[in-house]
């Protein structure tokens, strides 16, 4: 198991062809690697969530390029993939009274999965996940 604190940027985009490509070019120019991405489209607008390592900074470039964004700390959980993993993450956090505001993830071919989790109390959530024994 690997657990770390990362940055998540929620960025508002117009929902049109090429919007994501043009937006992602900013990360290439700034040499910032995207470790996870999620997009939610509503009519003519989209919210794109981009996760990057904690020491990478993109806020200045997003603002300069005219993007409206919100930066939050998130948990990146890399664990062995298995059925019931989302339920188990939710159960561990629920037992501690921690609210999940955003979660997304994916299984990888090497048998691992990566989960990006935004919560109302990141310190408490880190402690709960690390001490649970559920993800080793």
- Burial zone of 100 (CB within 10 Å; 0-12 exposed, 13-18 middle, 19+ buried): middle
Nearest Cα to 5, choosing from 73, 55, 90, 92?
Answer: 73
Cβ-contact 37, 9 below 8 angstroms: no
Q: What is the pLDDT of residue 88?
A: 96
Confidence band for 83, pLDDT divided at 50, 70 and 90:
very high
pLDDT of residue 96 exceeding 90, the answer is yes
41-82, pLDDT tens digit by residue? 988 889 999 999 988 889 999 999 999 999 999 999 999 999
Q: What is the pTM of this model?
A: 0.91
Q: Any long-range contacts for 79-84 (C-beta under 8 Å, 24+ apart)? A: 79/1, 79/2, 79/112, 79/113, 79/115, 79/135, 80/1, 80/111, 80/112, 80/113, 80/135, 81/107, 81/108, 81/111, 81/112, 81/113
């Amino acid at each position: 198991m690997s657990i770390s604190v990362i940055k998540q940027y929620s960025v508002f985009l117009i929902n049109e062809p090429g919007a994501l490509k043009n937006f992602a070019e900013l990360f290439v120019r700034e040499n910032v690697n995207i470790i996870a991405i999620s997009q939610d489209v509503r009519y003519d607008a989209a919210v794109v969530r981009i996760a990057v390592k904690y020491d990478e900074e993109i806020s200045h470039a997003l603002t300069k390029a005219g993007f409206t964004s919100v930066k939050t700390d998130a948990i990146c959980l890399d664990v062995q993939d298995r059925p019931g993993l989302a339920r188990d993450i939710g159960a561990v956090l629920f037992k501690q009274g921690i609210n999940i505001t955003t979660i997304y993830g994916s299984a990888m071919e090497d048998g691992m999965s990566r989960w990006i989790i935004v919560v109302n109390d990141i310190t408490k959530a880190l402690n709960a996940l690390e001490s649970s024994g559920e993800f080793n």
